[in-house]
Amino acid sequence: MDMLGSIKLWLKNDESAIAKVCHRCIRELMHFSIPVIPFIHPCMLRIHLLITHLFANMLRVLYWTPLFKSRLVTRPSNLYLYSGMPLVLGHLTIEMGDNCRVSGISTLSGRSMDGQPSRLIIGNNVDINWQNNIAVGGNIVIEDNVRLAGRVFLAGYPGHPVDAKERAAGLPDNEHQVGDIILKRDVWLATGVSVMAGVTIGEGTIVATGSIVTSDLPPGVLAGGIPAKVIKSL
């Protein structure tokens, strides 16, 4: 053990008065900060926010957005990409419409389908919020005006087989575990919703927070639960 580690252990565990005084003084130093100075610190905060926002927007316009567009099959107009660039993995083609807003803190992945890439098709005026995970096994279609809140998971493929021996051997998932997902126009998936492979959600339907959708949902309803069931018509 190095000297610094030995000192930390002594300070934390020794019952002597010297160790306790030293430990208390170090903790007070660690938590020390100068008091807020009226006018000066609020002005410094505004300057800091202005600089960071300007820098973030410059990165968005000049770096992240053109890089991400170069990965797409289409060239959408008015794409608003924020918080960096989504992580794109696997064998995947991405088609995107106009006026979309996409969080860079998202993951888009695709499964190779007999050597062909999976397809992610995103319509116009779609929101893909922070920490979304869109796993495309075949096709995922997100139609116009769809809203995906934070931590939505579209599970078009699981990535691993059901059989434990096959998993341990590192084999891929099986074809029967994979399926398309279709979100019709004006669907809204609230925070933490998961949608399983093979599911279609009808036009205008809203799925409540934390729900897991395992089967098709009709248009124009509020659904929720595990598994998600129709709660009422909208």
Beta carbons of 104 and 84 less than 8 angstroms apart? yes
pLDDT of residue 27: 80
Of 161, 156, 77, 76, the closest CA to residue 117 belongs to: 156
* Per-residue tens of pLDDT for the chain, all 234 residues: 567 777 777 667 777 878 778 878 888 888 888 899 999 999 999 999 999 999 999 999 999 999 999 999 999 999 999 999 999 999 999 999 999 999 999 999 999 888 899 999 999 999 999 999 999 999 999 999 999 999 999 999 998 989 899 899 988 888 889 999 999 999 999 999 999 999 999 999 999 999 999 999 999 999 999 999 999 999
pLDDT of residue 16: 80
Q: Going edge to edge, which strands form the sheet with 200-201?
A: 92-96, 118-122, 139-142, 181-183, 200-201
Catalytic residue flag (residue 41) = no
Active-site pick, 23, 91, 160, 176: 160
Residue 157 has which token pair?
Answer: 């493929």
Residues for the chain: how many in total? Answer: 234
pLDDT of residue 15: 77
Q: How far is CA 66 from the centre of its chain?
A: 20
pLDDT of residue 221: 98
**Which helix or strand (DSSP H or E) is residue 229 part of?**
strand 229-233
**Which helix or strand (DSSP H or E) is residue 196 part of?**
strand 194-196
Residue 137: how many CA atoms within 13 Å on its side-chain side? Answer: 21
pLDDT of residue 159: 87
Query: DSSP letter string over 95-127?
Result: EE-SS-EEESS-EEEE--BTTBPEEEEE-SS-E
pTM: 0.84
DSSP 3-state percent helix, strand, coil across the chain (nearest 5): 25, 30, 45
Of 117, 118, 116, 77, the closest CA to residue 96 belongs to: 77
pLDDT of residue 32: 82
Residue 17 has which token pair?
Answer: 């008065």
What is the phi/psi pair of residue 29, to 5°? -65, -40
pLDDT of residue 175: 86
